[in-house]
Structure 1
């Protein structure tokens, strides 16, 4: 009985032409496929491999939260763009004027194309950051943790902007 009270309002939303899912996506029934073109790394500081890692992360998120099929070409929805910023800045200082904490900021410029509904198309940047102890090098586990957090947030923001339009 409780399940019906939760599910029925969700199923009752929309115009009948939209698909809603419990993940929060709102996808027109004509949209069946998506593609994520390889993102380029155009940042001033180039961290090798992050463009591939970001591309895969976005593909996985859309696959996991929708029923859309991933295509290499001809997708109904197309994601493409470039990493435009990979920057480390000191955030807080110690008493002797040394950085106590650094912030890694990553910005990704995204071009989104919906071949079934051109008014959904856009190009815009998405950005997020990760603060870490300035005594640590931005390598290994620290870099992996930072990129995991940053890419999780950016890909979710991209998903929300493209597919979770309530």
Structure 2
């Protein structure tokens, strides 16, 4: 077999394999490299301000959480953010903001906190106007451990400390809603 025939056969196999791969990846929904699986009919998203119903949560937490959620969805999807009545709709409330000792240690005969843990719980209500089977209402929770020397007010004043916890909650809600995990 001559070189030109081999090259011709190889190129045909390559194109056939590529075509089959593309057909295999296509379907009723669109998959993206961020892991989303969003129906092409879904084009908009609305995220209402989450209410802070936690007794001891900082006053800025609701607004910060809502803005972080909007940013996360805008960075990881092509959905257009609209003020209300989006194809996908999120609303909910922050229901717990608990700061408590997580590890007790004895020092000089006295029990004291070795590590403090901040736990945040958010109840999320998700509505997919294009496919009501995907609707859910679920509580998501995340926590972070901090040195015993760090009190809750210093954590509230450190945006990165809270962001780690809220990002985990937002990622879980994202995965449940548009990544179908």
Report the TM-score, using the length of structure 2 for normalisation.
Answer: 0.82
User: Based on CA coordinates, which of the two structures has the bigger radius of gyration?
Assistant: 2
Q: 1:146 to 1:75 in 2, by over 3 A?
A: same
Residue 12 of structure 1: how far off its partner (Å) = 3.0
- Asked if 1:155 is matched to 2:156, the reply is no
Residue 11 of structure 1: how far off its partner (Å) = 7.1
Does structure 1 retain, via aligned residues, the 8 Å contact 2:127–2:135?
A: yes
Give the corresponding residue for 1:139: 153
Give the corresponding residue for 2:133: 119
Output aligned runs, 1:82-101, within 5 Å: 82-95=93-106, 96-101=110-115
Give the corresponding residue for 1:13: 25
Residue 137 of structure 1: how far off its partner (Å) = 1.9
> Residue deviations 1:29-75, cap 9 Å, x none?
10000010000000121311000010011111111111000000120
Report the TM-score, using the length of structure 1 for normalisation.
Answer: 0.89
Give the corresponding residue for 2:33: 22
Does structure 1 retain, via aligned residues, the 8 Å contact 2:99–2:152?
A: no
User: CA separation in 1, counterparts of 2:34 and 2:40?
Assistant: 16
> Residue deviations 1:109-141, cap 9 Å, x none?
000000000010010100000000111122346
Q: 1:145 to 1:10 in 2, by over 3 A?
A: farther
User: Which runs of no fewer than 5 residues in structure 2 stay unpaired?
Assistant: 1-16
User: Which runs of no fewer than 5 residues in structure 1 stay unpaired?
Assistant: none
Does structure 2 retain, via aligned residues, the 8 Å contact 1:104–1:146?
A: no
Residue 158 of structure 1: how far off its partner (Å) = 0.5
User: CA separation in 1, counterparts of 2:37 and 2:175?
Assistant: 10
Q: 1:80 to 1:10 in 2, by over 3 A?
A: farther
Number of residue pairs aligned between Structure 1 and Structure 2: 161
Which has the larger helix fraction?
2
Runs of 4+ in 1 over 6 A off after TM superposition: none
Residue 105 of structure 1: how far off its partner (Å) = 0.1
CA RMSD of aligned residues (A): 2.2
User: CA separation in 1, counterparts of 2:47 and 2:23?
Assistant: 29
